[in-house]
Amino acid sequence: MKDAFHGSARLPHGLHAAHREPGSVLTRPDHGSSPLLRRRGTAHTAPVWIRRAGGHCFDRLPRIMLGIDVRWAAIPCWTGRARRWAHETVPAAYRARYDTQVRPAMPGNPVSLKTLVAVAEARASFADHRTGRNCRPTNDRLAALTGLSVRTVQRASTALRLLGVATEVMRGRQRTYDERMASWRVGDHGRGWASVWALHDSRIRTLSPHPEGSYLNTQISCKKSLTTSRRPTGRSSGASRRTAPNTQALTLANRWVCDQQSPAWARRYRTGTPWARILAEVARHGWTPRDLNQLIADWIGTGHWIPETPHKPIGLLGAILAAHGNPAERPSALEEAREAADLALSRKRISAQLAERDAARRAREVGQAALTGAGRQAAMQIARQAAQRAEQRRAEADRLALGELQARVDVLRGSSGGTR
């Protein structure tokens, strides 16, 4: 019994016939799945794979499998095995192209060689040992094997793809409703398909330089002679020794390369030595990394365009400095003056607030000291004496009122006794 779900593979215009006709060859290499070229694949349930295996290894075979429709001939294989690919091919590609190609394409997402090799070794263990294809582990599985986070595994996989040593043949996706129902019928509770990768040797090949000529012109000119004699070793001949870069310019270049506000292409070189010669003039006028970044921002603000990865970044910076013209005019001087004025105003305002606080504190101390002074003691004594005299007057008034009341009572009693 077989359950199949027909997936659609969107091919570029003009490749449909080559994809269907047997024996046809693709005219360009396969670069894997992309947002414009998505492959969904066709899901097959377990009985198909059990019949192919003879039906004696049901537990070791997947209950449902996703078959992808791709021309594997357009994707290279690895020449060795998993260990050679993970420990030789990947490190060689990392050292050759990471700083120039991968780092600018992944700004703010660095990947170390140790992490990349760990992820590559874990991913290679899931690939076909002969060709390096059909590598289908999930990111969670790779994170559990390497001890890294899922996000780190994703960054390392992207670096492998950008280095040209791996191709994502099909991107992972969620299973459709029909695929989930078929998965449940065969006892598979998965809800998605992992990405399918092909691990191979580097796609990027470095051609050896030729003395002259090209592939289009194979004729060798006889007018020029090729000199193979050794150049004299005397001090009077030969190229002059290159002078060391200016210390001030080298300091400015290193600070600019390490500055967080600098563009990504400024860190194409690991040190600031290549930048030092072009920054020597502005370094003598006291420029800072902020001046260089402000100059680049002004260049973009005036309508110019700077690519993310310039072909010649040193020449681009030289053109921007030449357009600026006057090296004595620092681009961020006015902004720094404004910030210094704001800082001075803030400090003045804070000083005034501190002075007011000190004056209030002194007044409070004077008031607290007045509560225990001699004048307060005398005033309190006079107030107590006045209170005592008032109390005596009230007591005397109450005594007189009580005497008058008693006299009236006696008069009333006497008059009532005489009447009887």
The tens-digit pLDDT sequence of the chain (420 residues) is: 334 333 333 333 333 333 333 333 333 455 555 555 566 666 666 555 455 555 455 455 566 667 676 666 677 888 888 889 999 999 999 999 998 889 888 888 899 999 999 999 999 999 988 888 889 899 999 999 999 999 999 999 999 999 999 988 888 887 888 777 877 777 777 777 788 888 988 887 654 454 444 444 444 444 444 444 455 454 444 455 666 677 888 888 888 888 888 888 888 876 778 888 889 889 988 999 999 999 999 988 888 888 888 888 888 999 999 998 888 899 988 988 999 999 999 999 999 999 999 999 999 988 888 777 788 888 888 999 999 999 999 999 999 999 999 988 888 888 776 555
The CB-side HSE value for 386 (13 A sphere, CA atoms) comes to 6
End-to-end alpha carbon distance in the chain: 138
Nearest to 122 by CA among 112, 131, 135, 133: 135
Q: Which of 275, 295, 324 is the last residue of a domain?
A: 324
- Residues 283, 377, single domain; the answer is no
Q: What is the dihedral of CA 261, 266, 267, 270, to 10 degrees?
A: -130
- Residues 159, 17, single domain; the answer is yes
Q: Structural domain tally of the chain?
A: 3
- Residues 136, 67, single domain; the answer is yes
The predicted model scores a pTM of: 0.41
- Residues 155, 24, single domain; the answer is yes
- Residues 297, 374, single domain; the answer is no
Provide the residue range defining the domain that includes 23. Answer: 4-199
Indicate the pairing of strand 166-170 with strand 196-199: antiparallel
- Residues 103, 145, single domain; the answer is yes
Give one DSSP letter per residue of 79-118, joined into a string: SS-HHHIIIIIHHHHHHHHIIIIIHHHSTT----HHHHHH
- Residues 73, 101, single domain; the answer is yes
- Residue 218 identity (one-letter amino acid): T
Give one DSSP letter per residue of 364-398, joined into a string: HHHHHHHTTSHHHHHHHHHHHHHHHHHHHHHHHHH
pLDDT of residue 196: 87
Please check whether residue 17 lies inside any domain of the structure: yes
Please check whether residue 82 lies inside any domain of the structure: yes
pLDDT of residue 148: 93
Q: Which of 324, 347, 382 is the last residue of a domain?
A: 324
